[in-house]
Structure 1
Amino acid sequence: MTSLLPHLMFQGQLDAALTHWQGAFPDMVVTRTDGGDGPVTQANVVIAGQAISVFDSPPVHDFTFTPSISLMVCCDTRREVDAIAAHLGDGGEVLMPLDAYDFSARFTWLNDRFGVSWQIMVAP
């Protein structure tokens, strides 16, 4: 069967990113696929029901993440948006400030400290 799984490639910061994300998503499930006991270098992650493949690339590349692709988190409450945005935004970069917009009562778009782009909003 054909399937589609979003895949994020890191360069030496995967384990730190997973630890950071766990603070924003306490129910996040990480299943190691690297067979190791040390820092995670390859895993499947489930955040809010969405499976994501993550990998720490051994070679260094001339590129990293871009906000052209983002992970969208739809929350039930403004409080949840604020909490997740505060955690993921720590050390990151805000692309659209936390505010009310025509499409959502509470929304922000940010890159976390690892360069992963997140859109966080109250579901419309």
Structure 2
Amino acid sequence: MLVQSYLMFNGRCEEAIEFYRKALGAEVTMMMRFKENPEPMTEGCGPGGGAIPGDNIMHASFKIGETEVMASDGMGSNGKPEFKGFSLSLTAASDAEAQRLFKALGDGGKVEMPMTQTFFASAFGMVADRFGVSWMVINPRPMP
């Protein structure tokens, strides 16, 4: 069994993927626009259940390190997408890398918990990126 994150960006998917390329080194493995759909579109995937512009992203997959994340402009709501009740956790190999990733994700976003040391991590912080996706960045301490 495999559980994967699927993020809905309501018209900002391509912008988000480009942000993750720059901030995290994300590698796009697949991207399909709504206009490339081989089957006729039905109403319901767009904001408020309406149609979506053909240039918007129907489905994309990208890798951040070893993790595949999927994304789309579909199934959005009217207005700004909301990412509530979860965070993506990003494990860094060093404190310096954790600081760099935290700063990159926070560009245009909002710090939810500043980067700090904890009993479980030499570096840990929480930040919502400019798209509203919450991230926990961690360099964990070895557990005894």
**Same fold (TM > 0.5):** yes
Partner secondary structure for residue 115 of structure 1: coil
1:92 maps to: 109
Checking the alignment, whether the CA contact within 8 Å between 1:95 and 1:110 is kept in structure 2 is yes
CA contact (8 A) 2:57 2:74 kept: no
CA distance in 2: counterparts of 1:72 and 1:57, whole angstroms? 24
Aligned to 2:32: 33
1:59 Cα shift? 4.9
Counterpart code for 1:51: E
Q: Which runs of 5+ in 1 are unaligned?
A: none
TM-score (norm 1): 0.84
The equivalent residue for 1:18 is 17
Letter in 2 for 1:89: G
1:14, 1:41 within 8 Å by CA — same for their partners in 2? no
Q: Which moved more, 1:39-48 or 1:80-89?
A: 39-48
1:1-124 mapped onto 2 (5 Å cutoff): 3-26=2-25, 28-30=26-28, 31-34=30-33, 35=36, 40-57=57-74, 59-61=76-78, 64-66=82-84, 68-124=85-141
In structure 2, distance between residues paired with 1:112 and 1:49: 21
Q: CA deviation at 1:60?
A: 2.8
The count of corresponding residues between Structure 1 and Structure 2 is 121
1:50-102 deviation digits (Å, cap 9, x = unpaired): 11110112653476112x21111111111111111111101111111111111
Cα contact 1:15–1:41 (8 A) shared by 2: no
- Aligned in 2, Cα 1:6/1:59: closer, same or farther, shift over 3 Å? closer
Q: Secondary structure at the match of 2:117?
A: strand
* Code of the aligned partner of 2:83: F
* 1:9-54, Cα deviation, whole Å (9 max, x unpaired): 111111111111111222x221213348x56442011111111110
Instruction: Give the Cα separation in 2 of the matches to 1:3 and 1:86.
Output: 30
CA distance in 2, matches of 1:82, 1:16: 23
Distance change >3 Å, CA 93–CA 48, structure 1 → 2 = same
Partner letter of residue 54 of structure 1?
A
**Whole-angstrom distance in 2 between the partners of 1:75 and 1:12:** 30
